[in-house]
Structure 1
């Protein structure tokens, strides 16, 4: 019997009782467990079940994902991943940046220098929940930066911290010969050194306008919104001759929804409820490198 879908459970407490509940849900959909394994990690637990499913159409897999999510099998999450993605010789990992690759929202760090952090944070939260148009909200938030010296950008660079496991995740994908990209509604001036340090293959964000050493409160060119994120995913996958079915997208906000939906599997990382509700998988712990177990890297 050959596995055609893999169930990857991960969390701080993957209990035997929870796993039994998961197996029950899987069995109700006709899934047969081909094999099981437990990769070692001293920060969180992982359990991998190779499954044979009678129906692996997109509709059947979506229904199974809903059943697994609704079962709420304990303090862990389970991703259901097509075997073809996990076995692919070359994959593309594409990630959001703010609150995904990094721990902070850069626009809020910048706004703090203008005394507007709380005001901007409230708008950011609403935009990430999908309550506001992202491009309009970005222009409004960037406008509060007008008049700040460009040196604040350098100061913010030093405040930015990678999410736990982010460096390990990128290194694992790169070492295995895969492609790693990030696309951000944030800013190139912050992302460029991060991308260089991590050795990313592709990256794109918005460009803050700076004139005579001062932020103008505007961005240059088209805003990187949810449609643009999906566009870059498709462009970069095509450039690398990687099928969309072999791509993994990770994000946390409404701006990531199109990208998550277009990828082979979309992972909601400590995401807003609206994102978790439609993503293929959810990751609700701080360790971003758990994505490597989902992808089979």
Structure 2
């Protein structure tokens, strides 16, 4: 028996025109059997339950055509992600859970922020090998005093909606974790603040109170991110189909593909094209409505 799907539309404001045009698109792809709406101070959501008569891939293509013409986003959500049961949320950190790129904040102390930012952008677009690019960027930090880490921790800003999203998952009893190509020395205080279930990141090497320009151990790359997702889901006894992963860069692609729902958050074009949902509305709390938490 074919499982129902949910189609979730979201924008700062949705009106009857959005609903009418979306229903017209879906009429060719299945039968809408339920409808609900939600409103927050920052955005509105329209949720439609669909008995599909077309493949999910075709529905996604239709929604990607609909979105640019209406200014609203839309996502197809598989049943395991929104039905009752255990779930897991895993997020990238830089430019996803937080607004900044940590390595650029660190590089600013060495006067090399622009140089490092250019390499970061290329890596996130998938133009450079992530591990090699990370080693190149971390080298720019060599000689900085370890005190710069505390300065960066104090400057971290969570993305809009991040705390609401994490809190909602916690209240529902679901684990929430992060896996980052950034650095544990910066991430660990944030993970403690948000009471995250797990946090995985690179570790900056430190000697004599200064950064050496190297990382300790293997780099957290796209393969590591996928592995952490799979292992964390197994450890929490959450079916992989009921996991939600959120990220923005090329090093998130494997994790997004493996999750039950991969969400590209204000992401690079290649990531948007590959993800199950593309969220351009700059509020992570929308993810809560995708997974019905």
Is the structural similarity TM-score above 0.5? yes
Counterpart of 1:130? 126
- Alpha-carbon distance, 1:220 to partner: 0.5
Counterpart of 1:64? 59
In structure 1, distance between residues paired with 2:58 and 2:239:
24
Counterpart of 1:44? 43
Structure 2's unaligned 5+ residue stretches are none
Tell me if the contact between 1:248 and 1:265 (Cα under 8 Å) persists in the aligned partners.
Answer: yes
Tell me if the contact between 1:3 and 1:34 (Cα under 8 Å) persists in the aligned partners.
Answer: no
1:42-191 equivalence runs, <5 A:
42-55=41-54, 60-72=55-67, 73-191=69-187
Name the count of aligned residue pairs.
Answer: 291
SS at match of 1:139: helix
Q: CA RMSD in A?
A: 1.2
**TM-score (structure 2 length as normaliser):** 0.97
Q: Deviations over 1:146-175 (max 9, x none)?
A: 000000000000111000110110000010
- Alpha-carbon distance, 1:51 to partner: 1.2
Counterpart of 1:290? 286
Structure 1's unaligned 5+ residue stretches are none
- Alpha-carbon distance, 1:190 to partner: 0.5
Tell me if the contact between 1:15 and 1:74 (Cα under 8 Å) persists in the aligned partners.
Answer: no
Tell me if the contact between 1:97 and 1:183 (Cα under 8 Å) persists in the aligned partners.
Answer: yes
Counterpart of 2:18? 18
Moved over 6 A (4+): none
- Alpha-carbon distance, 1:264 to partner: 0.1
- Alpha-carbon distance, 1:100 to partner: 0.3
In structure 2, distance between residues paired with 1:116 and 1:291:
35
Name which of structure 1's ranges 146-155 and 82-91 shifts more when overlaid on structure 2.
Answer: 82-91
Q: Deviations over 1:104-142 (max 9, x none)?
A: 000000000000000000000000000000000000000
Counterpart of 2:245? 249
In structure 1, distance between residues paired with 2:250 and 2:170:
28
Counterpart of 2:267? 271
Tell me if the contact between 2:80 and 2:260 (Cα under 8 Å) persists in the aligned partners.
Answer: no
In structure 2, distance between residues paired with 1:95 and 1:111:
24
In structure 1, distance between residues paired with 2:233 and 2:127:
30
Counterpart of 2:219? 223
- Alpha-carbon distance, 1:3 to partner: 7.1
**TM-score (structure 1 length as normaliser):** 0.96
SS at match of 1:39: strand
SS at match of 1:19: helix
Name which of structure 1's ranges 216-225 and 17-26 shifts more when overlaid on structure 2.
Answer: 17-26
Tell me if the contact between 1:110 and 1:156 (Cα under 8 Å) persists in the aligned partners.
Answer: yes
SS at match of 2:214: strand
Tell me if the contact between 1:249 and 1:265 (Cα under 8 Å) persists in the aligned partners.
Answer: yes
